[in-house]
Structure 1
C-alpha cells in the first residue's frame, strides 16, 4: 500500500462494534458465510469463554474448504493449547506466530516490535479492524474474571478500503509463510514466495453511501512509520469545537501533547477518557506526569473505572473518527505494527461520540487538577521510575519520542 492508498475514499458501509459481544457475532457470521479465504491477525488469541466460539467458527470454515489463515503475535499469544493445535491441524486452519519470543530474545530491542494490529478480511469483501483481541470481555489472562466488560471497539467495513486491508494481511502472511518454509527446510519455495509477495490485492465490493469516506492507516517500521500519529496531529490541529479521545495506554510525545494543549488554548473542548485501573506498571504510572500540563491548559481527563479500558478511538468535531489498535504511547507509535481506520462520516462519528461521552458521565471519574497536584510522594516515585524505564527502553532502541 502506498501513501496515496491511505487517502480517504468514499462508498463505504461502516458498522461500529463495541466489545467482543458485538464483534464476535459479526466475525462469526462473516466466517460462516466465507467461500474462499479468511485472513485473521490478532495480538492475543485466548481460547477462554467466547474466544473458543470464534475458534470454532475458524474450524467450521476450514472443514468446508475455506483457506483459513491465522497470524498471532509471539508475545501476546505464543503457542496455542495442544488440543486446539491438534484440532486446527486436522481441520486445516493454518496458524503462524509473528516473532516468537523467549526470555533471551526479549533482551534484543529488535524483538520488541510486535504484531499489535487486529485485522480480519473475509473473501476480499468485508474487513474488520479495531483494538479488540480474541479475548473474552469478562476474562483477563493476568487478572482473571472481570466484574464488568473491558471497553473496546472495532469497525466492520465494506467498500474500497477492504482491498487495502487484503493487501496488508496478504503481505504479512507471505512473509510468515516464507519463514515457516525455511524452518521446514524448504528454502527455495520460501524465497520464491517472498519474491512473489507483491500486491496480493483483493477486489472489494463497494457498498454503502458515497458520504461514508474512510481509509486504512498502518504503522510499521518501513513505509508507514508516522501515518497514524500524523493523522491524529492533523485532525487535532484542524479541530474547531471538540476533541474526544479514548485511549488505553496514553503516554503522548511532545508533538501530541503540544497539539492537545494548543487546541484547548484556542477554545476547543478537549476530553480524554483514559485508563483508571492499574494494569501494567509502565503504562499506568508513566502516563500520569503529563496530566498536570494538560489539565493546566484546560484539557478534561476522565478515568474509566468499571473495568479495563482498552479502546483506541477518537472523534473530532463530530465528523472525523478513528478506530484501531494504536495506543498513543511509544510502544504503538514507534515499535509495533498497528492498524487504524480513519473515517469521515457524521453518523458514525456521532454514534461513537455519544458512547464515549456516556462512558465519561456514567462510568468515569473526572480528575481534578488540585487532587492530581497533591499526589503522595510514593506515587510520584513510581511515576518517575516508570518514566525512567520508558526513556531507557527508547534509548536502547534508538528512538526519539
Structure 2
C-alpha cells in the first residue's frame, strides 16, 4: 500500500477516548457510514453505537455494519431486528451456520476494527464495540486506536467498501452492493506521512509481518512493542533477537493475565531466549491488555488490530496504520512507558529458573500444541518450526 502525506492522526487511548470520538463522527455523518468490528456486545457501549447508527440511517445516511460471523455470532436477534428496522445494513463475515463442523476456512476471520464516515474521517485500532470494564477490581481494558483525517481515509474507505461489496456478493445481497458516490478525495489537513497496511488471504498475506520486519531490521536505537497475543514466527523472532544483540534496546509489553490460555503459556517459551539476548520483558497485570502497537526509534509507529501471533499473521483479515511522525510516536511511547511504570511487572530470568518444574514445562507443552494445531491446519509450517 502506498504512503500518503498530509494526514492528521489523533491517538485515542482505550474506549474512554475512542467511543466519544466515534459517536461524534457517526452523529455528524451526512452520506455514509462503514463500521467493521470483530466483536459487538449489546452492552451500554453497544447500545450507544447502535442508537447512533440507527439515527444516521433514519436521516438518510447509508449505514453499513460488518461484523465477524464468529466473534459476533451471539448478537441477539432482537438487537439485529432493531438495526434492520431503522435501515442499518448489517452483514456477518463468514457467518457461523454449523458451529460443530470442522472446516479450516472457519479460521479466516474478519478481525479488523475500522470505521469511515462520509469518506472524510476514519478510525483504525484494536478496540471492539464493547465496554472497557472487565471486572470491578480490574483497570479498564488497555488498548489504542487512531482517528484519521486526510488522504489516508481514501485508502480506508476503499478497503471497507471493497470488503462490503465482496460480502454482499457472497451472500447474494445484491441490492446492498451498490454504494453512494463519494465526494472529492480527502484534502491535506496535517503533516503526517502514513499508510494503511492490511492483511488478507490474497495479495497482502504477509504485509503486516513485512512492515514489522523492515522496521525492526532498520532500528538504530529502540524497539518498543505492546501486544496482547504475542507468538511470532521464526522470522520475527530472529529480527527481534538480532536487534537486541546489535545494541538496540528492545522492550516488549505482554498480557500478564490469562485470557487465551494456550497462547498465554505458549508465549512463555520465548522468554528465556529473549531475556538472554537482552530484551526487556514486562507483563501488564492491572487488567486485561488488548493493545497491538509498536514504536521504533521514536519516529516509526503502528496502531491496529493485528496481534503478533499465528491467528493474526496467517489467517485473519487485519488492518494497521503505519506512520512516520516524531510527535505522534513520542505520545504513544510515553503512554506505553506510563503503563509499564504503573501497571506492569518486569520478567526476570532467575525467577523463571526457580519456578517449579511443572510451571517450567507448561510453556513447552503449550507451544508444541500450537505447532501441532498449525500443522493440522497447514498454516505456518515454516514460520513456526523449531
Matched, 1:208 2:208: no
**Shift in alpha-carbon separation, 1:42–1:146, aligned structure 2, 3 A:** farther
- Correspondence for 1:393: 373
**Shift in alpha-carbon separation, 1:116–1:203, aligned structure 2, 3 A:** farther
Give TM-score, length-normalised by structure 2: 0.94
Query: What secondary structure does 2:350 align onto?
Result: helix
Aligned-partner Cα distance in 1 for 2:167–2:60: 22
- Correspondence for 1:334: 314
Query: What secondary structure does 1:78 align onto?
Result: coil
- Correspondence for 1:87: 82
Deviation at 1:159, TM superposition (A): 1.1
Query: What secondary structure does 1:209 align onto?
Result: coil
Deviation at 1:79, TM superposition (A): 4.4
Deviation at 1:145, TM superposition (A): 5.5
Matched, 1:304 2:284: yes
**CA contact under 8 A between 2:352 and 2:360: conserved in structure 1?**
no
Query: What secondary structure does 2:306 align onto?
Result: coil
**Shift in alpha-carbon separation, 1:203–1:313, aligned structure 2, 3 A:** farther
- Correspondence for 1:128: 123
Q: Which moved more, 1:126-135 or 1:146-155?
A: 146-155
Query: What secondary structure does 1:41 align onto?
Result: strand
Q: What are the equivalent positions in structure 2 for 1:15-94 lying under 5 Å apart?
A: 15-94=10-89
Matched, 1:118 2:113: yes
Unaligned ranges ≥5, structure 1 = 1-5, 183-188
Query: What secondary structure does 2:50 align onto?
Result: helix
Matched, 1:174 2:165: yes
Query: What secondary structure does 1:121 align onto?
Result: strand
- Correspondence for 1:3: none
Q: What are the equivalent positions in structure 2 for 1:142-153 lying under 5 Å apart?
A: 147-153=138-144
- Correspondence for 1:138: 133
Matched, 1:383 2:363: yes
2:156 to 165, 170, 173: 165
**CA contact under 8 A between 1:273 and 1:303: conserved in structure 2?**
yes
2:238 to 244, 258, 277: 258
Query: What secondary structure does 2:294 align onto?
Result: strand
Deviation at 1:252, TM superposition (A): 1.1
**CA contact under 8 A between 2:118 and 2:182: conserved in structure 1?**
no
- Correspondence for 1:246: 226
Q: Which moved more, 1:41-50 or 1:82-91?
A: 82-91
Give per-residue Cα distances to partners, 1:22-81, cap 9 Å, x unaligned: 111001010001011101101001111222211211111111111111011111111421
Deviation at 1:202, TM superposition (A): 7.2
2:271 to 286, 291, 314: 291
Deviation at 1:203, TM superposition (A): 4.5
Aligned-partner Cα distance in 1 for 2:32–2:335: 33
**Shift in alpha-carbon separation, 1:202–1:180, aligned structure 2, 3 A:** farther
- Correspondence for 1:104: 100
1:373 to 346, 349, 353: 353
Aligned-partner Cα distance in 1 for 2:324–2:342: 27
**Shift in alpha-carbon separation, 1:201–1:240, aligned structure 2, 3 A:** farther
**CA contact under 8 A between 2:38 and 2:67: conserved in structure 1?**
yes
Query: What secondary structure does 2:345 align onto?
Result: strand
Q: Which moved more, 1:281-290 or 1:381-390?
A: 381-390
Deviation at 1:238, TM superposition (A): 0.7
Aligned-partner Cα distance in 2 for 1:34–1:298: 49
**Shift in alpha-carbon separation, 1:319–1:202, aligned structure 2, 3 A:** farther
Aligned-partner Cα distance in 1 for 2:145–2:379: 29
Aligned-partner Cα distance in 2 for 1:389–1:356: 31
Query: What secondary structure does 2:340 align onto?
Result: helix
Deviation at 1:361, TM superposition (A): 1.1
Aligned-partner Cα distance in 2 for 1:361–1:323: 21
Aligned-partner Cα distance in 1 for 2:84–2:136: 30
Aligned-partner Cα distance in 2 for 1:240–1:132: 31
- Correspondence for 2:2: 7
Deviation at 1:376, TM superposition (A): 2.1
Deviation at 1:291, TM superposition (A): 0.9
Aligned-partner Cα distance in 2 for 1:120–1:290: 35
Query: What secondary structure does 1:236 align onto?
Result: helix
